[in-house]
Amino acid sequence: MQIIPAQLAKNQFGDLLMKVQREPVEISKHGKRVAVVISPEEYEQFEKLKLQSLKAVLAESIAQAERGELYSVEDVFSPLAADELNLPEDKA
């Protein structure tokens, strides 16, 4: 994955759009990662994978509930990290 500074991304935005059609591009500011730009196709694949993952968790949770193994919502989501659920760390 190519890494480019934010100022260069801003100044060469058209080039950035062309690059992300081939591979993700990481944008940094003051040496710190601030964004990763991806193509629409990669984004759609990511969303599909995320949905499949959530469906699998739901299916397993339903099966556990039917077996009487779940007692609260936390039992369902405790195996997942906060970043997988897009929740702040203190909400997980």
Q: What is the pLDDT of residue 77?
A: 64
Nearest to 29 by CA among 59, 62, 50, 4: 4
Q: Could you report the per-residue pLDDT of 72-87, keeping only the tens digit for each?
A: 666 666 655 555 655 5
Q: Evaluate whether 2 touches 28 at the Cβ level (below 8 Å).
A: no
- Interacting residues of 91 by C-beta distance below 8 A, sequence separation 6+: 82
pTM score over 0.95: no
Taking the domains of the chain in order of start, what are their residue ranges? 2-38, 41-91
Q: What is the pLDDT of residue 35?
A: 96
Backbone angles phi, psi at 11, to 5 degrees: -70, -30
The CATH number of 2-38 is 3.40.1620.10
Q: Evaluate whether 91 touches 82 at the Cβ level (below 8 Å).
A: yes
Q: What is the pLDDT of residue 69?
A: 78
Low-confidence ranges of the chain (pLDDT < 50): 91-92
